[in-house]
């Protein structure tokens, strides 16, 4: 695949995530999707750029804002949308919903509703691979809010101490729910702080998918060579509120609009045009392709069955009776 085709593929992946989530907004507003929904709109370059540099055998652990991570890792739109609908054909059999997507076959290990809780899980996966002699990497996504949690510091310390094949990707979108970075961290250079644990760490423009991919390939190459864990601070921004319930009163509208001028999707489309593509040709074709994919995913979710009532206790372990 030449450079232009590769960039076109990255554009298609970002468009799929964006249009998938925009449809989820419509479905949620119509009460066809329920529960909590946290949108990734604006941050697509991070998930797509990182996953472009990972191999199919590498594991990914994500956050509750993980639709983009799941689709970028290769989960089908049908399985993710069915999960949003709570249908048995969903990637978690309809039991997890938006925050608990899971696909062991593709080594996508969630989806976690607790801030920072994926970090120790990722360390465990990386430790298991190292002990088994597997040449695999575990990538863990988390936000700047999770950086303030003890789980991050414990995980970073052990990962460096044990030389784990772990890639820590902090999606710094400047807000932990409604708390700005400067009100949460005395030192806002998160990459510099991560380096204090004895691991290579640097920041990257999270609104540039190529920059993210390049930085990730550099880190992945070093980890595979046995150089231990690496940390990437992807400086990005979410265009939507923290969740569908969030009135988003903690940000100035001017700030949001400024970040929208750095939208990674039109930026990459413009780059393809500068490489000689006919005006809008790539975007129009990809938009049509993505629209068909999303429509098909919604139809499949609508037609999918609910889990039978008889199976509701399946996978639930009943504790043994305790004798007095």
pLDDT of residue 268: 96
Contact 171, 236 (CB under 8 A): yes
Contact 269, 45 (CB under 8 A): no
Contact 143, 115 (CB under 8 A): yes
CB atoms within 10 A of CB 54: 21
Please enumerate in sequence order all residues whose Cβ is within 8 A of that of 7, keeping only pairs 6 or more positions apart, or say none.
Answer: 210, 268, 271, 272, 275
pLDDT band at 218 (very low <50, low <70, confident <90, very high): very high
pLDDT of residue 319: 79
pLDDT of residue 283: 85
Please enumerate in sequence order all residues whose Cβ is within 8 A of that of 202, keeping only pairs 6 or more positions apart, or say none.
Answer: 191, 215, 231, 232, 233
Contact 71, 80 (CB under 8 A): yes
**Nearest by Cα to 246 from 37, 53, 104, 47:** 37
Per-residue pLDDT averaged across 164-178, rounded?
97
pLDDT of residue 220: 98
Question: What gap in Å lies between CA 112 and CA 110, rounded to an integer?
Answer: 6
Per-residue pLDDT averaged across 260-277, rounded?
92
Domains (range + CATH), the chain: 3-311 (3.40.50.970)
* CB-side neighbour CA atoms (13 Å) of 215: 28
Question: What gap in Å lies between CA 114 and CA 69, rounded to an integer?
Answer: 17
**pLDDT digits 0-9 by tens, 293-323:** 999 999 999 999 999 988 888 888 887 777 6
**pLDDT digits 0-9 by tens, 110-168:** 889 999 999 999 999 999 999 999 999 999 999 999 999 999 999 999 999 999 999 99
Instruction: Write the CA distances from 158 to 122, 147, 188, 195, 197, integer angstroms.
Output: 12, 15, 23, 14, 9
Q: Is the four-CA dihedral 304, 306, 40, 47 of positive or negative sign?
A: negative
Q: Residue 279: pLDDT above 60?
A: no
Instruction: Write the CA distances from 268 to 2, 9, 259, 271, 310, integer angstroms.
Output: 16, 11, 15, 5, 49
Q: Residue 104: pLDDT above 70?
A: yes
pLDDT of residue 177: 93
pLDDT of residue 116: 95
199 dihedral zone (left: phi>0; alpha: psi -120 to 50; beta): beta
pLDDT band at 278 (very low <50, low <70, confident <90, very high): low
Contact 52, 268 (CB under 8 A): no
**What is the pTM assigned to this prediction?**
0.94
The answer to which of 90-104, 145-159, 202-216, 269-283 has the lowest mean pLDDT is 269-283
Q: Residue 277: pLDDT above 90?
A: no
């Amino acid at each position: 695949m030449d450079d232009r085709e590769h960039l076109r593929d990255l554009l298609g992946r970002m468009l799929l995530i964006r249009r998938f989530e925009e449809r989820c907004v419509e479905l949620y507003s119509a009460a066809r999707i329920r529960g909590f929904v946290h949108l990734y709109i604006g941050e697509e370059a991070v998930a797509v750029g990182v996953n472009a540099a990972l191999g199919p055998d590498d594991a990914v652990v994500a956050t509750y804002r993980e639709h983009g991570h799941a689709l970028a890792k290769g989960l089908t739109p049908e399985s993710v949308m069915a999960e949003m609908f709570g249908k048995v054909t969903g990637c978690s059999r309809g039991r997890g919903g938006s925050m608990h997507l899971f696909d062991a076959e593709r080594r996508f290990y969630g989806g976690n509703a607790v801030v920072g809780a994926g970090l120790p899980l990722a360390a465990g996966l990386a430790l298991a691979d190292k002990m088994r002699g597997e040449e695999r990497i575990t990538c863990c996504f988390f936000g700047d809010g999770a950086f303030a949690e003890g789980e991050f510091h414990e995980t970073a310390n052990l990962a460096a101490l044990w030389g784990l094949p772990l890639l820590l990707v902090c999606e710094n979108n400047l807000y932990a729910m409604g708390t700005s970075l400067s009100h949460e961290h005395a030192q806002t250079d998160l990459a510099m702080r991560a380096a204090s644990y004895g691991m290579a760490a640097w920041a990257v423009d999270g609104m540039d998918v190529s920059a993210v991919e390049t930085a990730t390939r550099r880190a992945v190459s070093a980890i595979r060579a046995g150089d231990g864990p690496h940390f990437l601070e992807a400086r990005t921004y979410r265009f939507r509120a923290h969740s569908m319930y969030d009135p988003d009163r903690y940000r100035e509208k001017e700030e949001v609009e400024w970040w929208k001028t750095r939208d990674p999707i039109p930026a990459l489309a413009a780059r393809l045009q500068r490489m000689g593509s006919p005006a809008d040709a790539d975007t129009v074709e990809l938009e049509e392709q993505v629209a068909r994919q999303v429509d098909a995913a919604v139809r499949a979710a609508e037609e999918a069955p609910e889990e039978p009532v008889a199976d509701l206790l399946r996978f639930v372990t009943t504790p043994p009776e305790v004798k007095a």
